[in-house]
């Protein structure tokens, strides 16, 4: 009899314990388990395949003439300036739907398709026939729509989209036919240095006029290039670009044709410790001493 009672008591305890456990589990449901393990590889996947998936192979065009490998802090505008091209052309040649998105290690075409970059002077012309356009009624600093692309680590001022077609091309202008003039009337305060200034520093007062040094077309107007402040870049022919930096206001827009001596900006101190114009002349993207081309004063 005592054995029956012991069994009955043991059975009741087990039932009660089970009810308690059920009650607890219904009040506090068990947290789901997330399987974070990587999916199993197929039988044919080797260690070499794994390494290839983790680290993409270098592009076939890396190191070839006419191509450029993106480095840290690069922007499309800087790459274009250093290669004597229009950043919009670079975006189109490389199929960049969003010019803000360029990555370190990416290989970009920096010479026109169908042109042999190994040939001296083989560059497509992106300067269209010069036709003047009215300037904006009020000088204004560049807005979001007037800026150009930036890569990771660079300024965020960027264009929203890239036009489908570039500026119509015309016959090349000989280097000898460029009629240069000084872009500002102030004294030269910084001489050319290929490794440092890359141009001339010209003194002046805030608001002093900055004029185009020769006929050409504006290929950039904005503040997306670190160290240059409010910047205008003018392409004069297949060889020459000029850059006008640190302005307080920009008076021209991208794709606008300008004449030699036309006011394109007002002198300022953006990205500079003092009011000045930083002026560069680039021959096929390489900075050269402007004093060797500008007329004597």
| Better-scored residue on pLDDT, 150 or 99 | 99
Would you give the end-to-end CA distance of the chain in angstroms? 127
Q: Mean of the pLDDT values across residues 96-103? A: 89
pLDDT tens, residue by residue, 195-219: 888 999 999 999 999 999 999 999 9
Counting beta carbons within 10 angstroms of the beta carbon of residue 59, is it exposed (0 to 12), middle (13 to 18) or buried (19 or more)? middle
- The pTM (predicted TM-score) of the whole model is 0.61
Q: Mean of the pLDDT values across residues 286-294? A: 96
CA distance 288 to 125: 20
CA distance 197 to 202: 12
Cα-based distances in Å from 94 to 65, 66, 85, 121: 15, 12, 13, 21
Q: What is the pLDDT of residue 96?
A: 92
Q: What is the pLDDT of residue 55?
A: 38
Contact 269, 141 (CB under 8 A): no
pLDDT tens, residue by residue, 125-160: 333 333 333 434 344 444 433 444 443 344 434 343
pLDDT tens, residue by residue, 236-249: 999 999 999 999 99
Residue 34 pLDDT class (50, 70, 90 cuts): very low
CA distance 142 to 177: 32
Q: What is the pLDDT of residue 19?
A: 40
Q: Mean of the pLDDT values across residues 161-182? A: 58
CA distance 220 to 235: 9
pLDDT of 106 strictly over 60:
yes
The DSSP bridge partners found for residue 176 are: none
Q: What is the pLDDT of residue 170?
A: 37
Q: Mean of the pLDDT values across residues 165-193? A: 75
- Parallel/antiparallel/unpaired status of strands 200-203 and 188-190: antiparallel
In whole numbers, what is the pLDDT of the chain averaged over residues?
73
Q: E strands of the chain, at which residues?
A: 67-69, 107-109, 188-190, 200-203, 209-211, 216-222, 230-235, 240-247, 249-250, 257-258, 263-266, 276-283, 286-288
Q: Which residues contact 149 (CB under 8 A, 6 or more apart)?
A: 75, 76, 77, 87, 91, 99, 100, 102, 158, 159, 224
Q: What is the pLDDT of residue 281?
A: 98
CA distance 76 to 89: 10
Q: What is the pLDDT of residue 249?
A: 98
pLDDT tens, residue by residue, 36-93: 233 333 334 344 443 333 334 345 788 888 999 999 989 999 999 999 999 999 999 9
């Amino acid at each position: 009899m005592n054995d029956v009672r012991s069994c009955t008591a043991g059975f009741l305890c087990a039932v009660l314990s089970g009810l308690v456990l059920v009650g607890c589990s219904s009040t506090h449901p068990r947290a789901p388990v997330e399987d974070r393990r990587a999916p199993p590889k197929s039988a044919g996947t080797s260690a070499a395949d794994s390494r290839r998936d983790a680290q993409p192979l270098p592009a076939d065009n890396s190191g070839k003439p006419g191509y450029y490998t993106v480095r840290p802090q690069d922007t499309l505008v800087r790459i274009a300036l250093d290669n004597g091209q229009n950043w919009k052309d670079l975006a189109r040649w490389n199929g960049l739907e969003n010019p803000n998105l360029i990555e370190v290690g990416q290989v970009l075409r920096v010479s026109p398709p169908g042109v042999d970059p190994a040939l001296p002077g083989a560059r497509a012309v992106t300067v269209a026939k010069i036709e003047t356009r009215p300037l904006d009624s009020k000088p204004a600093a560049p807005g979001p729509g007037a800026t150009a692309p930036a890569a990771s680590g660079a300024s965020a001022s960027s264009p929203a989209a890239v036009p489908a077609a570039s500026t119509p091309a015309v016959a090349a202008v000989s280097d000898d036919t460029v009629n240069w003039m000084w872009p500002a009337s102030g004294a030269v305060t910084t001489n050319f240095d290929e490794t440092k200034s890359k141009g001339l520093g010209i003194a002046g007062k805030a608001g002093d006029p900055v004029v185009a040094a020769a006929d050409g077309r504006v290929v950039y107007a904005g503040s997306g290039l670190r160290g240059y402040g409010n910047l205008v870049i003018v392409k004069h022919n297949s060889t020459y670009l000029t850059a006008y930096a640190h302005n307080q206001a920009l008076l021209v827009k991208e794709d606008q044709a300008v004449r030699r001596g036309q006011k394109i900006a007002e002198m300022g101190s953006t990205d500079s410790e003092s009011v000045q114009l930083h002026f560069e002349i680039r021959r096929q993207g390489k900075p050269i001493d402007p004093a060797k081309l500008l007329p004597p004063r």
